[in-house]
């Protein structure tokens, strides 16, 4: 089954339609690469997909082990490399707020951060700098 359909709109902008849901995402080339930077760039989406995927896998594991990650957040920083221009590093800082976890639960969350499908799909040359911040 097809996943998405992308249309080039001109001016370095695309529109992506998720075929199952009809959700739409618009992308722009970033300002530092001749674009408008008014929407996520494709490389922003890759970096953001890593954070979302990690949270999704953590949510599944938390549900299976009867604890919650609700209200947790993460901040994502994408660092580009030159020659060739590509994502060189993705830094993600997870903040679990006031949630309190056992050592076992922390290990489960750490494992999720290192083994989500997006993390495993990225080229090994992309540094994944993931920090889990517990109170």
26 and 91 part of one domain:
no
Mean pLDDT of 53-58: 98
Element (H, E) at 27: strand 24-28
The residue segments making up the domain with residue 57 are 42-133
**Alpha carbons 92 and 21: distance in angstroms, whole number:** 28
* pLDDT tens-digit readout, 90-133: 999 999 999 999 999 999 999 999 999 999 999 999 999 999 99
CATH (domain of 73):
3.30.300.20
What is the reported pLDDT for 63? 98
What is the reported pLDDT for 46? 98
What is the number of structural domains in the chain? 2
* pLDDT tens-digit readout, 61-73: 999 999 999 999 9
The gap between the terminal CA atoms of the chain, to the nearest Å, is 43
50 and 100 part of one domain:
yes
- What is the reported pTM? 0.94
In order of 9, 23, 33, 103, the CA distances from 41 in angstroms are 14, 17, 10, 37
Q: What is the DSSP letter of 38?
A: S
60 and 97 part of one domain:
yes
């Amino acid at each position: 089954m097809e996943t998405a359909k992308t249309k080039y709109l001109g001016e370095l902008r695309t529109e992506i339609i998720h075929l199952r849901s009809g959700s739409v995402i618009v992308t722009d080339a970033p300002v530092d690469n001749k674009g408008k930077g008014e929407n996520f760039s494709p490389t922003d989406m890759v970096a953001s997909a890593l954070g979302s995927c990690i949270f999704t896998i953590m949510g599944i594991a938390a549900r299976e082990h009867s604890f919650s990650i609700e209200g947790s957040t993460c901040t994502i920083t994408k660092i580009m490399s030159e020659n060739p221009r590509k994502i060189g590093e993705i830094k993600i800082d997870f903040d679990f707020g006031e949630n309190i976890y056992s050592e076992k639960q922390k290990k489960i969350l750490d494992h999720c951060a290192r083994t989500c499908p997006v993390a495993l799909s990225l080229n090994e040359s992309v540094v994944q700098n993931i920090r889990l911040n517990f109170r």
